[in-house]
Amino acid sequence: MTEKWLIGVDLGGTTIKMAFINFYGEILHKWEIPTDVSNEGKNITTDIANSIDEKLSEVGKTKSQVLGIGIGAPGPVNLDNGNIYEAVNLGWKEEYPLKSLLESETTLPVVVDNDANCAALGEMWTGAGNGAGDIVCVTLGTGVGGGVITNGDIVHGKSGAAGEIGHITSIADGGAPCNCGKTGCLETIASATGIVRMAMEELKQSKLNGRLRSIFNEEGKVSAKDIFDAARDGDQLASTVVDKVAFHLGMALANIANTLNPEKIVLGGGVSRAGSILLDAVTENFQRFSFPRVAKSTEISIAILGNDAGVIGSAWLVKNRIAE
Ligand SMILES: [Zn+2]
């Protein structure tokens, strides 16, 4: 059994990342294909099945080498049947039978979970979680995703919507509108989109000059990376934005930790590449708002698997749900 391969699939709105992974969580081969969202996303499972066939023959193996497929999808999952309730990015507007379609197209067993949950499982298995069984992962990308792991497994909740950390309300009265329909969600502040939005507001309201304003004047826009780079350089305007992000993120993480007291909170996604300028400021606010015993025992760190977390976590699902 342990010589068998696990297939991890990370299904995103623009690319589908796939990998053959061994029982120790090591990637043997990885590749990606574009996501075809035309025709209401109906080609996606066929594309995955064909791509796996091609890759297996390319490396001289057959399906008998494979134990099963784990797939992380960008939407809430019905765990009873492996359906995705909806995935707007993929064109799946109604409940979509991802597990059953992919099983019939590949003739392999399939396990489905949410993409943020898979990233969390990946970090738990071979990443920054370092084997910890109680971790919370927060993905700071275009949006803010979350995965909560307690006792070594994902918390799904009643309808698959547990871990929606991006939609913790950070600003109770007002705040910017969120894609979910509410306002003032953490995602409107701590995502790359939110950080840029706040910087644009600061640029408009403040008269301060500096590196960030120069970049804006030259390029007509700023990126989240520009903002962190400028803050690292001592730019006051950029530092104001980073302070706001760190305040709201640190407070949200403290509230999560006060509830769960995880061993680790892992920050991943593009924004987490800002590194210590973000981590130090978030940790400071986290310490301020967390219960003293939590502050001493819960550690915040940056994810280490990068884009591989999703495929590794999806493979973990195969190892732990199909192999047993
Ligand atoms: Zn929201």
86-90, 165-169, 221-225, range with the lowest pLDDT: 86-90
Q: How far is the CA of 248 from the centre of ligand 1 (A)?
A: 14
- Same domain? 164 vs 255: yes
Within this chain, do residues 113 and 54 fall inside the same structural domain, yes or no?
Answer: yes
| Predicted local distance difference test score (pLDDT) of residue 289 | 98
CATH number assigned to the domain comprising residue 312: 3.30.420.40
Distance 181 CA to ligand 1 centre (A): 6
The partner residues of 31 in beta bridges, in order of sequence, read 18
> Contact, 9 vs 311, CB < 8 A?
yes
Q: How far is the C-alpha of 84 from the C-alpha of 95, rounded, in Å? A: 5
Grade residue 323 by pLDDT with cuts at 50, 70 and 90: confident
Same domain, 182 and 299: yes
The predicted-structure confidence for 120-168, as pLDDT tens digits, reads as follows: 999 999 999 888 999 999 999 989 999 999 999 999 998 888 999 999 9
Between the CA of 256 and the centroid of ligand 1 the distance, in Å, is 16
User: Which pLDDT value is given to residue 324?
Assistant: 66
Which whole number is the average pLDDT over 298-310? 95
Residue carrying the six token digits 């898979």: 118
**Dist. CA 179 → ligand 1 center (Å):** 6
Rounded CA-CA distance 193/271 in Å is 10
Cα(187) to centroid of ligand 1, in Å? 6
Distance 249 CA to ligand 1 centre (A): 14
Q: Name which of 57-71, 81-95, 205-219, 232-246 the model is least confident about.
A: 81-95
Residues 174 and 218 occupy one common structural domain: yes
Give residue 164 CA to ligand 1 midpoint distance, Å: 9
Judge contact between 300 and 267, C-beta under 8 A: yes
Residue 75 above 70 pLDDT?
yes
One domain, residues 96 and 150: no
Mean of all residue pLDDT scores within the chain: 95
Q: What is the pLDDT of residues 22-51, one digit of tens each?
A: 999 999 999 999 999 999 999 999 999 999
Q: How far is the CA of 194 from the centre of ligand 1 (A)?
A: 12
Tally of structural domains, the chain: 2
CA angle (288 as vertex; 285, 292 as ends), nearest 5: 135
- Distance, in Å, from the CA atom of 224 to the CA atom of 79, rounded to the nearest integer, reads 35
Q: Are residues 148 and 213 in the same domain?
A: yes
Residue 84, pLDDT > 90, answer yes
**265 lies in the same domain as 168:** yes
Q: Are residues 139 and 91 in the same domain?
A: no
Mean pLDDT (whole number) for 224-248: 97
The pTM for the full model equals 0.91
168 alpha carbon – ligand 1 mean position (Å): 7
CA of 144 from ligand 1 middle (Å) equals 9
- Whole-number Å distance, alpha carbon 172 to ligand 1 midpoint, is 12
The residues, any chain, with a CB within 8 Å of residue 177's CB and separated by 6 or more, are 183, 188
Ligand 1 centre and the CA of 233: distance in Å? 32
């009265």: which residue's tokens? Answer: 173
Residue 67 sits in the same domain as residue 156: no
How much distance in Å is there from the Cα of 68 to the middle of ligand 1?
34
Are residues 263 and 181 part of one domain?
yes
pLDDT given for residue 130 in this prediction? 85
Which pLDDT tens digit goes with each residue over 262-285?
999 999 999 999 999 999 999 999
Structural domain including 74 reads 5-122+308-322
Q: For residues 139 and 116, is the Cβ–Cβ distance under 8 A?
A: yes
Cα–ligand 1 centroid distance for 171 (angstroms): 11
Distance 165 CA to ligand 1 centre (A): 9
pLDDT score for 278? 98
Residues 51 and 102 both lie in one domain? yes
One domain, residues 169 and 291: yes
> What's the CA-to-centroid distance between 182 and ligand 1, angstroms?
5
Whether the CA torsion 203, 208, 211, 214 is positive or negative: it is positive
